[in-house]
Structure 1
Amino acid sequence: MTLPRLTLLASLIAAVMPLHAYAFKIDTGSTDWDVSWDNTFSYNLGMRTQGVDPLIGNNPNFDDGDYKFGHAGDTVTNRVSILSEFTAAYQGYVGFRLSGSAWKDFAYGSGDNTNPGIYAPGITYQSIRAYPNGVYGSFTNRYYVQGAQLLDGFAFYNSQVGGHAIYLKGGQFTEYWGNSLLSPTQGISYAQGATDGIKAYNSPGTQTKELLLPRPQISMTAQVTPEVSVSGQYQLGWTYNRLPTGGTYIQAADFIAQGPSGLFLTALPGAVRPLFGLPPSSAPFAYQVPQGNAITPPQVDNNFGLKLGWTPQFIDGAMGFYFRRLDETQPWILANWKAVPALKTSLPTDYHLAYNRGAQLLGYSFDTTIGSVATGFEASYRHNTALNTALSPAVMNQTEGAKGNIINLVANAIVPLSRSPIWDTGSLTAEIGYTHLLSVTQNAQLFNGVGYPGCPSNNKWNGCSTKDYVGFGVVFQPQWLQVFPGVDLSMPTSVTGGIWGTNPINPGPAAGAQGAFTYSIGVQALIRQRATLTLSYIGYHAHVNATSTTPSGLPFASAGNGLYDLNDRPWVSLTLQSSF
């Protein structure tokens, strides 16, 4: 982002941000040191507003999440957390920053729940649950029940060499390039850090840069001339996207778990039991596929980026030119397969997560201010990026999914709201993103796309990717000042979703699909510039395209476009946040 865009954005934040940072200044006895310690306390209470839809709750891949809090009025989160930030700077040119958070959610203490019914004759849903012993895995326990994490931990040094400013930073922090605001899979900043998917689905409308998780790295920016700057980034660590896991209220599927507990479920004739060392039987049985070890990149794997920034005098704005080599942070869900001649098919012996290595990105950005409106544009090309991949035996032993070349275009605007009879101030942020698949370069037989073997239905409404995808996001937040003494009110409202097609980028429809939307509307009180109280209604919608029947005769939704398992999980969120 350029100076004009940042200046406008800063003024908007000052007008409508729900919480101002009031750091506690520490008196060191020296004017050379600027030391502060800021703590932010948050409490979030959430309640389900709709009961289980049987078409979702009867699906064995969705029932754990749906029945965890199965009734309207159930508390889906009861979470307290604290964020602590410490910064020390000497004469403004050298210093360090540390931040971390800790949390406890009292709603998740009872472990995994399932549909109480019968999936198949003699087989209960409980017997094929995502967590075999009914106890959450370590990842789910840490991020949903209680845990802590180090966020920022870096040192910085600002200097001059030959009259040119140099900015150095090393440690654990986030780096965010480009102008995309609401398109984490389409922007130049894609996989510049792992994305907090839990936060994304629980807080619709959160900007991309707020979803990135810090990672170990070093970065440098040099102001070569008043108009030209050069930046470099080299990453010294890697981690995966923090996905909503199976058995939690907002999840993609029961069997997705960043740990050894997830299971992909199906039902097969008892004749295949000997294949797995079980005695023959004429009865059907639940075929539970264990999760195998994830295939991850090395911590240091030549992940780097270069940026050339240019702010020419003849335009009121700035341009950026980018090159990045990156290991992706969103997993494919792959499987190893074994032929079963008796059934004239192949069956998976395990499923596992795997991550794409060495994708390359070329990008261009431009931003400017038109009147009072901050506008931004991005274009990027990704080479050998991960594509939407089907669970298919077309490759028997799978270490990588489908890869291809894509083009992304993103355009956005931040519009300040002028005083009117309806509101005092506020902002409107709008963004549109377009993805075009140029070619499939590897494992085309696994690509879950219309016209490819991985999509036998040849139907985008079943989650198959299209060559073109258009998505959008809108965040609207009017504000009313001093409604009560010391209290400003606002109405944060957001909607993000797909306009046309299904995203060819991994994970396909979960990354954006036509007819799939996430939305929220709320009322927020900013109290004496130090605390906020927010009441929001949050919901999800995706297209259901097909239904099936379990072996016991229960109907369930079996195909759709997007995360249709969240259709019955709207909820109300009450959040209190304060700094001290």
Structure 2
Amino acid sequence: MMNRKTKFARPFKRAALVTALAAAFCRPDVAGAFEFDTGNPDLSVRWDNSIQYNLGIRARNCDPNICGNGRGAGDLTATASDRKFGKAGDVITNRISDLSEFDFIYKDHWGFRVSGNVWYDEAYHNASAAPDPAFGALGLSQLPNNQYTDYIKRWNRGPSGQLLDAFAFGRVNAGNVPIDIKVGQHNIYWGESVFSFVGGVADGQGPVDVRTALTAPGTEAKALFLPTNQISFTAQLTNKVTLAGEYYLGWKPAMLPDGGTYFGAADFLTLGGGTLLPFIGPGVTFNGTQRPKNEMGDWGIALKVRPEWLDGSAGFYYRDYTNKFPQLVMNSPTSAVADYTQPRQQLIGFSLSKDVAGVSVGTDITYRRNAMLGATPFAPVFLSTGQGDWHPQGNVFTALVNAIAYFGKTPLFDSATLIGELTYSNLLRVTNDPYKLFLGLPQNCGAGTSTPGVAIDHGCPTKQAYGLGVQFMPIWYSVFNGVDLKMPIFFSIGLHGNSPVPFGDNQGQGAYSIGLTADVRQKYTVSLAYNGFIARHSNDSAGILSNSNASLGKYWDRNWISLTFKATF
């Protein structure tokens, strides 16, 4: 039997090996990323690589209500994910990755860009899940034979990779109006949202990398959106007016964490399918994604104006788009899917950005027609019978305001940045819910949840919801020769109510992170951070389910420490 010392030793020996490998790759003569000398001043060819090593260590033992305590079973839907690395000190990630970017630019306005990343995570060398033995003895495993599927192994262990940007761009002139056009896989992000990826104009503008949002609290929303195949343009009508548009040639779902991994939201949930749902019934399978009926056709138009009297910029938007987040639904008596066949929704938006007393202020305001509402999971809607449009939808108003303040030298730091963002959502009207799946108003979304406090704990949606995100980052320059030091501190919390739309704010639910980052000669960074989750939750009387009002997952015991080394060439 492996003792505790051996359990620690093997991952850390491997961590040291991977660290040495990363260091070898990061030598300038090995990580050969550079700007090519083409001999033509009009032609720029550049290849950049960012090699990164991540070591993550669990900070708290698994909650017995989720993992079990040896005397009773844990949480039926989350035990395998939380028990995979169940003890404080367990290595939850031991990952090396490389982001490679190639740019070919002719006369500043013509060319193409290709980027992608590759990775391997030694922490997942063992592809076995770790469900509660009490459930395993009853045949309640949600991963077949307690083994990861090929999809889970690809995205969490590797070695594997993915193509990110892959587009060509050019400029044409319509009279005196220059029009910049991109064709291919790329990302467009409209609006002024900093932290919220569902509260602003950019809602649904691309698939969101929810995995990164969970593992790196405080990541700006625009960095979470993944490229999608599309055509986009920007036309500079005057020096004060810009017209932009996009038309999507493909569709991708948001990237969700996989069941059985440390950040798995539920043991069965993986967009690759191939898992089991024994808590629903024997032989019930989860079969991954039910894709939209039309995977192309999302489009949007934007007008940006910068009048002198405003001393800032205002944006006006209209978008028609498919949702990138799923509804969990039974599509036959023995099969469930992550369903994306929801009808398109429309967004009318407004944004404003300007300086007020030295503070950069931004705001997004949207009206969303037929927005997807959070349905009761696994409702028996049999899509194969052609019962028509069952998806709960409603008209929703959202607004957010953020402020970015910069501080100069003080006795405590050389400079600092403070960012705050307040978000708000309001369900104006339920427009479609023929099967009464949206059971959130008034405060009741199932048996035993008619009491307001209990309803909030269970994640029952409310008419209105508020949330707050704050990041403060002091900086110290030249602490050592060529070394700048930063201390990013992030905190987010749902202030009131549970959002009627998925992945919005939930009362008492949030995340935080505090760390130190050393920037060495603007080429290497080393970061150490403590990352945690804030949760409002309860347990049912049977002790086999832990209820949380989070949009995704039961993370209140999954705090962790991260060490990151990154070299850019």
Normalising by structure 2, we get a TM-score of: 0.87
Preserved contact between residue 381 and residue 390 of structure 2 (Cα < 8 Å): no
Per the alignment, in what secondary structure is the counterpart of residue 565 of structure 1? coil
Which residue, 322, 331, 338 being the options, matches 2:317? 322
Residue of structure 2 in register with 1:84 after alignment: 100
1:469 equivalent in alignment to 2:465: yes
Partner SS, residue 118 of structure 1: helix
8 Å contact 2:99–2:117 — kept in the other structure?
Answer: yes
Q: Equivalent residue of 1:294, what SS?
A: strand
Q: Which of 283, 295, 304 is equivalent to 2:299? A: 304
* Corresponding residue SS for 1:199: helix
Which position in structure 2 is the counterpart of 1:572? 561
- Aligned-residue Cα RMSD (Å) equals 2.0
Residue 59 (structure 1) aligns with: 75
Q: Equivalents in 1 of 2:113, 2:252: separation in Å?
A: 21
Q: Which residue of 1 aligns with 2:421?
A: 431
Change in Cα spacing, 1:392 to 1:502, as seen in structure 2 (3 Å) is same
Q: Deviations over 1:242-281 (max 9, x none)?
A: 00111010121112111223333428xxxxxxxxxxxxxx
CA change 1:243–1:169 in 2 (3 A) is: same
CA distance in 1 between counterparts of 2:334 and 2:445 reads: 19
Specify the SS of the correspondent of 1:133: helix
> What's 1:522 paired with?
515
Matches within 5 A, 1:2-151: 24-57=34-67, 58-119=74-135, 124=137, 127-146=139-158, 147-151=160-164
- For the pair 1:383 / 2:369, whether they are aligned, the reply is yes
CA deviations over 1:344-395 (Å, ceiling 9, x no partner): xxxx532211112311110001110124321101100111111111036575
What is the rounded CA distance, in whole Å, between the counterparts of 2:259 and 2:222 in structure 1? Answer: 26
Deviation of the 1:117 alpha carbon: 2.9
Which letter maps to 1:133?
N
- Counterpart for residue 164 of structure 1: 177
The Cα of 1:113 is off from its aligned counterpart by 2.4
Q: Secondary structure at the match of 2:151?
A: helix
Aligned to 1:278: none
Q: Which residue of 2 aligns with 1:262?
A: 275
User: Which shows bigger deviation, 286-295 or 391-400?
Assistant: 391-400
Q: 1:544 to 1:454 in 2, by over 3 A?
A: closer
Q: What does 1:175-254 align with in structure 2 at a 5 Å threshold?
A: 175-254=188-267
8 Å CA contact 2:288–2:337 kept in 1: the answer is yes
Instruction: Write the letter of the residue equivalent to 1:542.
Output: A
Q: Find the aligned partners of 2:276 and 2:370 in 1 and give their Cα distance.
A: 29
One of 351, 364, 372 as aligned partner of 2:350: 364
Question: Percent of aligned positions with the same letter in both sequences?
Answer: 37
- Report deviation, 1:160: 2.8
Moved more, 325-334 or 557-566: 557-566
TM-score (norm 1): 0.86
Query: What is the DSSP-based 3-state SS (H/G/I as helix, E as strand, rest coil) of the residue aligned with 1:460?
Result: helix
Distance, in Å, in 1 between the alignment partners of 2:187 and 2:378 is 36
Distance apart, 1:229 and its partner CA: 1.6
| d(CA) in 2 for partners of 1:573, 1:190 | 29
Q: Residues of 2 paired with 1:288 and 1:254: CA distance?
A: 16
SS of the aligned residue for 1:377 comes to strand
Task: Indicate the residue corresponding to 1:350 in structure 2.
Answer: 335
- Which portions of structure 1, spanning 4 or more consecutive aligned residues, are displaced by more than 4 angstroms? 392-400
Corresponding residue for 1:409?
A: 399
Q: Deviations over 1:49-108 (max 9, x none)?
A: 111211111001011101111111111000000011111111112111111110000101
> Which amino acid is the alignment partner of residue 314 of structure 2?
M
Query: Contact conserved, 2:81 with 2:263, CA < 8 A, in 1?
Result: yes
Question: How big is the shift at 1:453?
Answer: 7.0
Query: Following TM superposition, by how much is the alpha carbon of 1:439 offset from its aligned partner in structure 2, in angstroms?
Result: 1.1
Q: Measure how far apart 1:300 and its partner are.
A: 4.0
Structure 2 letter corresponding to 1:311: R
Deviates more, 1:352-361 or 1:324-333: 352-361
CA distance in 1, matches of 2:293, 2:249: 10
Residue 279 of structure 1: aligned partner: none
Structure 1 residue 158: Cα displacement: 2.2
Q: 1:226-246 deviations in whole A, cap 9, x for unaligned? A: 222211100111000000111
**Residue in structure 1 matched with residue 430 of structure 2 by the alignment:** 440
| Separation in 2, partners of 1:35, 1:336 | 50
Q: CA–CA distance in 1 between the matches of 2:362 and 2:377?
A: 38
Structure 1 unpaired stretches of 5+: 1-21, 268-285, 338-347, 550-554
Report the CA distance shift for 1:564/1:224 in structure 2 as closer, same or farther (over 3 A). Answer: closer
The answer for the alignment partner of 2:10 in structure 1 is: none
Q: Which runs of 5+ in 2 are unaligned?
A: 1-31, 68-73
Per-residue Cα deviation, 1:495-531 (whole angstroms, up to 9, x for no partner)? 122111001002xxx5331011111110110111110
Tell me the CA shift for residue 47 of structure 1.
Answer: 0.6
CA positional deviation for 1:396:
5.3
**Whole-angstrom distance in 2 between the partners of 1:570 and 1:306:** 41
Q: 2-side partners of 1:116 and 1:256: how far apart?
A: 17
Q: Is the 8 A contact 1:517 1:541 kept in 2?
A: yes
Task: Output aligned runs, 1:477-492, within 5 Å.
Answer: 477-492=473-488
Q: Take 2:121 and 2:279, find their aligned partners in 1: how far apart are those partners?
A: 32
Distance 1:539 1:167 in 2: 42
Partner residue of 1:4? Answer: none
- Farther-moved stretch of structure 1 (233-242 vs 254-263): 254-263
Higher relative CO (Cα under 8 Å, sequence separation at least 6) belongs to 1
